[in-house]
Amino acid sequence: MKPLIVLLVSFFIALLILYLRSKKIQWPLAGRIAMAVMLLFTSLGHFMFTDGMTAMMPEFIPIKKEMVYASGVLEILFAIGLLIPKLKVRTAWLLLIFFILILPANIKAAMENINYQTGELNGNGPNYLWFRIPLQIFFMVWIYYTAIRTSKITANRNTLNNKNQKL
């Protein structure tokens, strides 16, 4: 729930600041800024709650603690990449893959009642999946629309403008 709140609050703040600066509504950029803020927020958990996140990892994953740290670093890199125009689309595709890859850890945590902060078996339980899986899909759709789809639309517009200028 906290990542969703961070995402939405960051989005509206970024939207307002961008509008005040440019007098244009720049929702794709505000969306990428908000996702970057959310990723920075969630990356903190990888370093603050390492033991709990290690307990969430499926059994077949080796070097669990190192993987938790690595995924935290990846989230920071994704946050940066979303804000660099030349990297935003590539970063978005990698982030979509990342969200798919971390889903088993969230499923395991829910099914085994693992508390991601402490690693104890007093977490939210299987009912949490009714929130978590749609949330994960929401994040993926958010990334697609703010980084990938808008880039395709912009590229198509530029192509049409170039063709019209040649005529």
pLDDT of 145 reads 95
The H or E element containing residue 167 is: none
**pLDDT for 60-111, tens place per residue?**
999 999 999 999 999 999 999 999 999 999 999 999 999 999 999 989 988 9
Calculate the average pLDDT of the chain: 91
Backbone CA torsion sign across 149, 154, 159, 163? positive
User: So where are the chain's domains?
Assistant: 2-166
CB atoms within 10 A of CB 151: 15
Residue 153 confidence class, pLDDT cut points 50, 70, 90: low
The H or E element containing residue 48 is: helix 27-48
pLDDT of 148 strictly over 90:
yes
Helix (H, G, I), strand (E, B) or coil at 86: coil
**pLDDT for 77-87, tens place per residue?**
999 999 999 99
